[in-house]
Amino acid sequence: MQDNATSQLDTGEFDAPQRPQMLNILTILTIVGSSIFLLLSLISPWTTRFSKNMITKQLESGGNNLTEAKMAKMREGLTKLDLLQQNIVPLMIVSVIGLGLCLFGAIMMRKLKKDGFWIYLAGQIIPLAGSFFIMGSAQFTDIGTVVGLAISLLFVVLYTTQRKYLVY
Residue range 61-74, pLDDT digits in tens = 776 677 788 888 88
**pLDDT of the residue at 23:** 96
- Is the pLDDT at 154 greater than 80? The verdict is yes
Chain mean pLDDT for the chain: 87
- Give per-residue pLDDT as tens, 114-126: 999 999 999 999 9
At 168, the pLDDT band (50, 70, 90 cuts) reads: confident
Q: CA-to-CA distance for 146 and 150, rounded, in angstroms?
A: 6
- Chain centroid to Cα 40, Å, comes to 11
The pLDDT score that the predictor gives to residue 72 is: 83
Query: 3-class SS at 92?
Result: helix
Residues 6+ apart with CB under 8 A from 161: 22
Enter the pTM of the model.
0.80
In angstroms, the CA 80 to CA 138 distance is: 7
- Please give the pLDDT value at position 159: 96
**In angstroms, rounded to a whole number, what is the distance separating the alpha carbons of residues 98 and 119?**
9
Give the count of alpha carbons within 13 A of 34, CB side only.
24
Q: Which among 162, 166, 128, 124 has a CA at the least distance from the CA of 145?
A: 128
pLDDT value of position 4:
54
